[in-house]
Every structure is written in C-alpha cells, then in structure tokens.
C-alpha cells in the first residue's frame, strides 16, 4: 500500500540497539535507565513532546547460586535463581528431594515439610497452594522447565508472594536436568539461592504527538522495554518497543487528527508495574476530580484506546491479537486482517502485558503479538535477534500503521465506544487475582 511509511529495517536497527548494543535491561536496573534515556532521545529527535515519568519498584539480585546432588551420587546441576521468592543465605539449605507432579493442594501434604520440592507443574489455585506451603514450610523449590531442549528461564519470582506467604527460595533447571535427577534417583541436595532485595527507580518514557483537530481524544501506543535478569530480550520486547519508536516517526510525518501518545513501559517483567502505575495515577486523579464535580471530564476519560505491542519479530510464526473492549473493536482487527491478507488470530481475552492495566481502569485495549516456536525461549538467554527479521517487523508494523491511520489518525469520528464489557472486566479481575497482582 503506497501511503504506508513504516520501515522494517529502521525498526530492526532500533531492536538491535536495545537488544545487542545495550543488551540485558532488567526491570529497575541501570541498564533499563540507559535504555529509557535512549528511547527518550529518539522521541525528542522526532520533535515529540517527551516526558519520563518515574515510579518506585522492588527488585532483587542474585548474590550466589548452586544446586548440588549429595546422595546417592555427587553432581552439580546448572540453575537460575528466582530472586524475589526469597533467599537461602550464603550457606544454602540441605535437604531431601521430593518430586511432585504439581504444587496443587492434593500433593501438599505434611511430607513436604523440611524438604526440597522438585516440580514442573503450576498450581491451579495459586493462592490456596501458597497458603498451604507457608504453613508446611518446605526448604526450597526446584522448578523444572516444561519443554525439553530449552535453557532454564531467568524469572523474577514475586515480592507479593514473599510478603504474603513468607520466603521460599526457588531455582529453575532445564527439563533434561530435571529428568536426570529423577532417573538417577537423587535423594539429597544442597541448594544455594542467595539473593538481595532492593528498592529501585524505574520509568515510563512518553512521546506525545498532539492531534491537529481533536487533541482531547488520546490514543496510547506502547510496548515494554525492560527484560528479566541476564536476558537480551530481543523478541520480548525490544522488537515491540522498536515498532513503537518507528510508528512514532511514521505519524510524526503523517500527522494525526487525534493525540497519539507513544509509551515505552518500564518494569513489565516485574508484574506490569509501569503500566499499572500509569493507570493507577489516571484512576486516582479522575476519582478526585469527579468528587469535586461529577460531570468533570478527566484525562482518563479522554484516553479512548490503548494499542499494546509485545513479543514481535520472529520470522517463523503467526500473528495474534487479544482485545478488551466493544465488539466493533474486535471486528475492526478481524476485518483489517482479511483486507490486508495478514492473518491474525483475534480473541477477546486478557493478554498478560501492558494493555491490561489500562483496560482495568476502563480503556479499551488491543494487544498485537507474534506467536512463534521461539516463544519458548523467552525469558532465557536464547531470546536473541537470531530468530527475528526486519521482514516480519515490516508486516507487523504496516498492519499497526494502517489500523492507526484508519481509525485514529484520519477517522472523521472516533469509531469505537469507550467501553470495556462486563464479561471482559470479569476476565481482567480474574487475571489479577490469579496472578496475585494488585489491580490498578
């Protein structure tokens, strides 16, 4: 389509700048701050009204780690620590190994007390599981990756879980190493997961293009730029951030009737902290204004839509979209998919990323992503640019550009009702409850 300006090669250079030149950008780290500064410079160079909005987060670091089989043989097993679940201290813990299919309550008997639990499953009712675990007090957890031939993931764990239910140190190992422990009959292990918790500063980076005709109508276009520890996060989510930066260039050149606010979210990997902070502040300011004047139109009221880009760029894969909003919003993605010939699997559901907190405070959202075989490598050190392509960014970026051009930048009237249906609200509440995260 001749009027499309998105350039996949430009976007790929932004991707490489984040994932290769800067590398790992853990939530709340100095590297994340450097990435934020770099993105802010990109927005400023485009002539966008640029702001960096800070917030506080709790993060952690790994001081030392070790997983060693003591009986009936001796062997060290590579592992990755989940620092926010707790610390063993420098000496670690020594205990009998017990294998559970999953940490569901049926398996959480008094037998686990004082033991090291090995499991590859996830509890159906996490809250119930944590309550039992906090009472029975196992020594530690070893989580086995559920897919063979992938590295152990570098996940944070949860400070909320630790605050509510106490510490239980946890490490992750590969499927093959977990299988080996069971096949060789490992009975006793020494596990060191020495961690340190800290308060840090993080930030959302905002570049705003004022609407030429209807500046009071605001659309957010964002993606997160942080990673987990030691991971370059090329697919998740340097690629999504790169698309956002390139879309900012495109619409700065094309112009827009409505205000377009391009946002690089911080601390997504810690539990959507950047978008939750942003949504919470919008909600609180709106509630305060409406107490004084119930008819007041607030900034939250003026935000009509959030488009989120998370997990992109894989050359081999398929496109997906999850929508939280009115039926016509879902239909628009489906129709545009048919028109362009770029297939999207479109569902009305929660996507665990930065659009969801905005929908929790009433803003309809679309999350665009790429579902690929390489998704299993995300959150591990194998999430690298090797699997990604400018060609794929081109296709995904053009789709986003066409959608935003048609329904935001050029639409005579905004085509979507600002509404999150009740059944979608229920899904959002269930998501936050299941994930043990606070609603905005």
- Is residue 227 helix, strand or coil? strand
Mean pLDDT (the chain) is: 97
Could you please state the CATH topology (level 3) that the domain comprising 62-196 is classified under: Glucose Oxidase; domain 1 (3.50.30)
- Residue 234's Cβ-count burial label (10 Å; 0-12, 13-18, 19+) is buried
Place of tokens 């590859």: 120
Tell me what pLDDT residue 49 has: 98
Q: Do residues 285 and 436 lie in contact, with contact meaning Cβ atoms separated by under 8 Å?
A: no
Percentage above 70 pLDDT, the chain: 100
Please give the torsion angle defined by the CA atoms of residues 403, 408, 411 and 412, in that order, rounded to the nearest 10 degrees.
Answer: 170
Q: Is the dihedral of CA 370, 221, 227, 172 positive or negative?
A: negative
Residue 1 — very low, low, confident or very high, per pLDDT cuts 50/70/90? low
Location of each CATH 3.40.630.10 domain in the chain:
8-59+200-434
pLDDT tens for each residue of 64-103: 999 999 999 999 999 999 999 999 999 999 999 999 999 9
Tell me what pLDDT residue 3 has: 86
Q: Please name the residue ranges forming H helices in 46-202.
A: 126-136, 159-165, 175-183
H and E: helices and strands count for the chain: 12, 14
Residue 2 — very low, low, confident or very high, per pLDDT cuts 50/70/90? low
pLDDT tens for each residue of 135-146: 999 999 999 999
Could you please state the CATH topology (level 3) that the domain comprising 8-59+200-434 is classified under: Aminopeptidase (3.40.630)
- Is residue 381 helix, strand or coil? coil
Location of each CATH 3.50.30.30 domain in the chain:
62-196
Around Cβ 19, how many Cβ atoms within 10 Å?
A: 29
pTM: 0.97
């Amino acid at each position: 389509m001749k009027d499309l300006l998105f350039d996949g090669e430009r976007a790929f250079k932004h991707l490489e700048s984040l994932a290769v030149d800067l590398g790992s950008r853990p939530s709340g780290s100095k590297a994340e701050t450097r990435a934020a500064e770099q993105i802010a410079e990109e927005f400023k160079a485009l002539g966008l009204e640029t702001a960096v909005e800070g917030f506080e987060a709790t993060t952690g670091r790994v001081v030392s780690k070790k997983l060693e089989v003591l009986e009936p043989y001796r062997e060290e097993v590579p592992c990755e620590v989940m620092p926010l679940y707790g610390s063993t201290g420098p000496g670690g813990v020594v205990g009998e190994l017990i294998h559970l299919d999953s940490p569901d309550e049926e398996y959480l008997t008094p037998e686990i007390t004082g033991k090291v639990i090995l499991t590859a499953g996830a509890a159906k009712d996490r809250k119930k599981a944590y309550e039992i675990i906090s009472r029975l007090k196992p020594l530690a957890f070893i989580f086995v990756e559920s897919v063979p031939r992938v590295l152990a993931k570098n996940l944070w764990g949860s400070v909320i879980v630790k605050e509510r239910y106490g510490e239980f140190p946890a490490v992750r190992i590969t499927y093959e190493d977990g299988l080996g422990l069971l096949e060789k009959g490992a009975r006793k292990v020494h596990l060191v997961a020495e961690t340190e918790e800290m308060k840090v500063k993080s930030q959302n980076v905002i570049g705003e293009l004022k609407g030429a005709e209807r500046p009071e109508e605001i659309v957010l276009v964002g993606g997160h730029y942080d990673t987990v520890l030691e991971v370059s996060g090329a697919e998740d989510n340097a690629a999504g951030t790169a698309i956002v930066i390139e879309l900012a260039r495109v619409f700065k050149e094309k112009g827009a009737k409505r205000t377009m606010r391009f946002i690089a979210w911080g601390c997504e990997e810690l539990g959507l902290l950047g978008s939750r902070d942003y949504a919470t502040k919008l909600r609180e300011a709106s509630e305060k204004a409406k107490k004084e004047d119930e008819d007041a139109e607030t900034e939250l009221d003026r935000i009509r839509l959030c488009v989120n880009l998370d997990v992109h760029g894989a050359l081999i894969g398929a496109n997906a979209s999850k929508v939280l909003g009115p039926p016509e919003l879902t239909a628009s993605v489906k129709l545009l998919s048919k028109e362009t010939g770029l297939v999207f699997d479109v569902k009305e559901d929660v996507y665990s990323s930065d659009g969801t907190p905005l929908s929790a405070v009433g803003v309809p959202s679309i999350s665009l992503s790429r579902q690929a075989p390489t998704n299993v490598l995300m959150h591990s050190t194998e999430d690298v640019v090797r699997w990604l392509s400018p060609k794929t960014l081109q296709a995904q970026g053009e789709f986003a550009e066409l959608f935003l051009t048609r329904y935001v930048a050029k639409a005579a009237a905004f085509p979507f009702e600002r509404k999150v249906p009740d059944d979608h609200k229920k899904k959002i509440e269930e998501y936050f409850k299941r994930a043990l995260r606070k609603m905005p």
